[in-house]
């Protein structure tokens, strides 16, 4: 491990968007960045070790030392280049809900790696592909980390040489809404409900709908209802989140393109007219048995950013 000195007081500010993966039929492949952000200020200190000051989501709950996911991501990036991680003071301002299918773990991983990228500038040139590779190594799959890094709509896949991603620009007529419940859902539990194999006709169904969904999101939003149909994962997970399933059925029966957001239990609604967001929110308020928060969001087109602080200054 190389002990390469990074000047005390060197700091960076990182901003990472929430994401929603799968989008119905695009299981483990399609992802969308949302204009809802976690932010991070990281400063090199003289003393060894790490301290994390968490504000907002996770405050008083997530670890504030080396066990913190952001810290583990920073260390993962430093280790990948054989450089010893310095002592760090970290201030995290979190807005992305945890355990709700909005990519909170992916955002934390990307935030940490982007922070490392900024701190290592001048010592290591970490390009976007390196960020994607490091983030996927930690997350296990690229469908959430890709849109968090690049913004917009992303198609992600894995090759023998590593993960790959293609960013597409979403049609300006697409208006996302995320309905967020008070209860959480374990991604590991959601994945455990998936069967090892699926019927041939279901696989064909999802291939057609995934292709149609890309066209709907970038060119023809009026096709979103049909394009978000799925037979690979949502029905298998329905028993673990019955209210999510019930609300999605009610929304789709009313003509809205509603799907499970990521592993759930949040619901993603893709509208092709702004008025639909208000109408769908009213429907959820009528039908829901428990409180749900409605987040009317834009698509984030920029992805994760990192900018330096002047030495010795924490923004």
Print pLDDT tens along the chain (315 aa).
Answer: 666 779 999 999 999 999 999 999 999 999 999 999 999 999 999 999 999 999 999 999 999 999 999 999 999 999 999 999 999 999 999 999 999 999 999 999 999 999 999 999 999 999 999 999 999 999 999 999 999 999 999 999 999 999 999 999 999 999 999 999 999 877 666 567 666 777 889 889 999 999 999 999 999 999 999 999 998 878 878 888 999 999 999 999 999 999 999 989 999 999 998 899 999 999 999 999 999 999 999 999 999 999 998 654 444
161 and 202 housed in the same domain: no
The boundaries of the domain holding residue 272 are: 175-296
Give the chain's domain count.
2
Tokens of 221: 């939003």
135 and 204 housed in the same domain: no
Binding residues for ATP: 97-107
184 and 139 housed in the same domain: no
C-alpha pair distances (Å), 80 with each of 45, 135, 211: 21, 12, 36
Q: Is the pTM of this model over 0.85?
A: yes
- What 3-state DSSP class applies to 97? coil
CA Rg, the chain, in Å?
20
Give the β-pairing of 50-56 and 88-94: parallel
Alpha helix ranges (H) inside the chain: 69-80, 104-119, 128-139, 145-150, 187-192, 200-218, 224-227, 234-237, 242-253, 274-287
146 and 207 housed in the same domain: no
159 half-sphere exposure, CB direction, 13 A CA radius: 8
Binding residues: 97-107
Q: 205 burial class (0-12, 13-18, 19+ CB within 10 angstroms)?
A: middle
210 and 162 housed in the same domain: no
Q: What is the CATH number of the domain that holds 137?
A: 3.30.230.10
């Amino acid at each position: 491990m190389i002990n390469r000195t990074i000047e005390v007081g060197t700091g960076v500010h990182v901003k990472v968007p929430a994401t929603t993966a799968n989008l119905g039929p695009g299981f483990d492949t399609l992802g969308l960045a949302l204009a809802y952000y976690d932010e991070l200020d990281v400063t090199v200190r003289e003393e060894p070790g790490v301290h994390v000051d968490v504000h907002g989501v996770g405050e008083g709950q997530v670890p504030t030392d080396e066990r913190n996911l952001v810290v583990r991501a920073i260390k993962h990036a430093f280790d990948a280049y054989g450089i010893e991680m310095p002592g760090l003071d970290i201030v995290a301002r979190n807005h992305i809900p945890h355990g709700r299918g909005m990519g909170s773990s992916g955002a934390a991983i990307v935030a940490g790696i982007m922070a490392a990228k900024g701190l290592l500038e001048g010592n290591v040139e970490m390009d976007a592909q390196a960020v994607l590779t490091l983030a996927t190594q930690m997350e296990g799959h690229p469908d959430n980390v890709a849109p968090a890094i690049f913004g917009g709509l992303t198609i992600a896949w894995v090759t023998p040489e590593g993960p790959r991603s293609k960013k597409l620009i979403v049609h300006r007529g697409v208006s996302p809404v995320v309905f967020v419940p008070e209860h959480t859902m374990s991604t590991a539990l959601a994945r455990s409900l998936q069967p090892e194999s699926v019927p041939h006709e279901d696989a064909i169904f999802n291939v057609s709908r995934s292709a149609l969904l890309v066209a709907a999101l970038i060119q023809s939003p009026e096709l979103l209802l049909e394009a978000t149909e799925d037979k690979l994962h949502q029905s298998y997970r329905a028993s673990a989140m019955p209210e999510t399933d019930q609300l999605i059925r009610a929304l789709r029966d009313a003509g809205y393109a509603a799907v499970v957001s990521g592993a759930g239990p949040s619901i993603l609604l893709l509208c092709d007219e702004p008025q639909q967001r208000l109408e769908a929110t009213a429907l959820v308020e009528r039908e829901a048995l428990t409180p749900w928060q409605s987040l009317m969001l834009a698509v984030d087109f920029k992805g994760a950013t990192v900018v330096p602080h002047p030495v010795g200054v924490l923004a």
